[in-house]
Amino acid sequence: MRKRVGKLLGVVIILLLIVVIVKMRPREERYSVSYTDVFDTVTQFSGYAKSQKDFQEEVEVLHQELLRYHQLFDIYHNYLGINNIKTINDEAGKKPVKVDKALFELLKLSKEMYTLTDGKTNIAMGGVLALWHDSRERGMAGIGRASLPNREELEENAKHMDIQNLVLNEEKQTAYIRDKQMRLDVGSIGKGYAVELLGKHAKKRGMKSLLISVGGNVLTIGEKPKGEKWRLGIQDPKDEKAYLCYVETANHCVVTSGDYQRFYVVGDVHYCHIIDPEKLMPPTRFHSVSIVAKKSGMADALSTALFCMSYKKGRALVENLKDVEAMWVQKDGKIRYTDGFKKQMREGRSNER
């Protein structure tokens, strides 16, 4: 009898010690770290750790990885020891370029998304986008009178945006542009794919509760420590300090393409940075299109494509895809969304972004 009482007492003492040890452990608090040196936008990491120092150290590893993707997908600059999009463009019509696996996979995905969206997402229209970029930069800088790109130049560059001229060699992991006048621009998908890769990297490092936001591309990893989902705000295009709604999600991404941040004014007309590959002009149907999906690269490409499509065609496309939902904010203020999006949607301001 005494032995049984002794054993029971020992078990109780051990349990009490476990409780004390657990209570003595540092409580995980929420921390955020921001950067402004990647993809020409604000990058924010939010998550839980025992201290700001621990979180900062873990996030800095992710930041360095994101910086690598930024360099690989860059169309403007060269980097020592790196073959990037600019390298491929510079070698157009000359020779194939050996590229990093991340860049090769991005190019493969881009060709797949071109087919899926019937050409509405086309990374081969770099020549057209360059003309719009230059006109927008001059207009925003106040250099002379703001003007649209020359239509004849747009149409001439549009002759060199056949994505079939981008040849990918899986075995050699090379990319080659057959048309010496064609230029790649992965702005419609690169940022989203970088976030997708970063999410995989974070999971490999054992990060189980994290929010990554790179411009309009937001990815959640896991849930919050108490099992709560993340709340991701969908910005009101007419009020940068307000949200139309928010979605509750875990292990998903939310990507928005809109006309309310990157634009310039010619006369009294606003021209945004998204260009319809068919009309060679910014679309005018929507203020924004938001996508909820599991894969950020696909979501980024889809948000651009749907922005260039009619609501009817865009909705038909989304409803044929698995784990993809969408919301459209029309120019007349009307908001439309798929049934799956509505189920995740909540009214009011988000407390996450």
pLDDT tens digits, 106-159: 999 999 999 999 999 999 999 999 999 999 999 888 777 889 999 999 999 999
Pick from 4-18, 44-58, 226-240: least confident: 4-18
Q: What distance in Å separates the CA atoms of residue 161 and residue 156, rounded to the nearest whole number?
A: 10
Do residues 332 and 237 touch, judged by C-beta distance below 8 A?
no
- Crossing angle between the packed helical segments 101-116 and 52-72, to the nearest 10 degrees: 70
- Residue owning tokens 């930024």: 70
Q: Given a cut of 90, is residue 352 above it in pLDDT? A: no
**Domain-located, residue 151:** no
Q: Which helix (H) or strand (E) holds 27?
A: none
Q: Helix (H) and strand (E) counts for the chain?
A: 10, 16
126 within some domain:
no
Q: What is the pLDDT of residue 346?
A: 83
Range of the domain at 326: 29-67+208-346
User: Residue 275 and residue 212: Cα distance in Å, rounded?
Assistant: 27
Q: pLDDT for 239-248, tens place per residue?
A: 888 899 999 9
Can you tell me the distance from the alpha carbon of 177 to that of 183, in angstroms, rounded to the nearest whole number? 8
Q: How many residues make up the chain in this entry?
A: 353
User: Are the CB atoms for 294 and 251 separated by under 8 Å?
Assistant: yes
Q: Percent of the chain beyond pLDDT 90?
A: 81
pLDDT of residue 163: 98
Q: Is the pLDDT of residue 3 over 60?
A: no
Q: Average pLDDT in the 159-185 region?
A: 98
32 - beta bridge partners? Answer: 46
Residue 26: its pLDDT value, please?
A: 53
**257: closest CA among 121, 94, 95, 53?**
121
Q: For residue 81, is it within any domain?
A: no
Rounded CA-CA distance 282/132 in Å is 10
Question: If you average pLDDT over residues 283-290, what whole number do you get?
Answer: 96
Sign of CA dihedral 235, 312, 307, 185: positive
177 touches 93 (CB < 8 A): yes
The better pLDDT of the pair 139, 57 is held by 57
Whether residue 202 is contained in a domain is answered as no
Tokens encoding 133: 């970029």
Domain count of the fold of the chain = 1
Q: What is the pLDDT of residue 111?
A: 98
Q: What is the pLDDT of residue 290?
A: 97
Q: How far apart are alpha carbons 83 and 95 in whole angstroms? A: 13
- Mean pLDDT for the stretch of residues 182-196: 97
pLDDT value of position 131: 98
Which sign, positive or negative, has the C-alpha torsion 49, 52, 54, 60? positive
Q: Is residue 341 part of a domain?
A: yes
Query: Has residue 306 got a pLDDT over 50?
Result: yes
292 strand-pairing partners? 254, 325
Q: Which CATH number does the domain housing residue 237 bear?
A: 3.10.520.10
Q: Is the pLDDT of residue 12 over 80?
A: no
Residue 172 falls inside a structural domain: no
Please check whether residue 97 is in contact with residue 91, taking contact to mean a CB–CB distance below 8 angstroms. Answer: yes
Check whether 17 has a pLDDT greater than 50.
no
The reply to whether 147 falls in a domain is no
Amino acid present at 90: D
269: nearest Cα among 133, 154, 148: 148
Closest Cα partner for 210 from 178, 174, 251?
Answer: 251
Report yes or no on 6 lying in a domain: no
As a whole number, mean pLDDT of residues 309-332 equals 96
Average pLDDT, the chain: 91
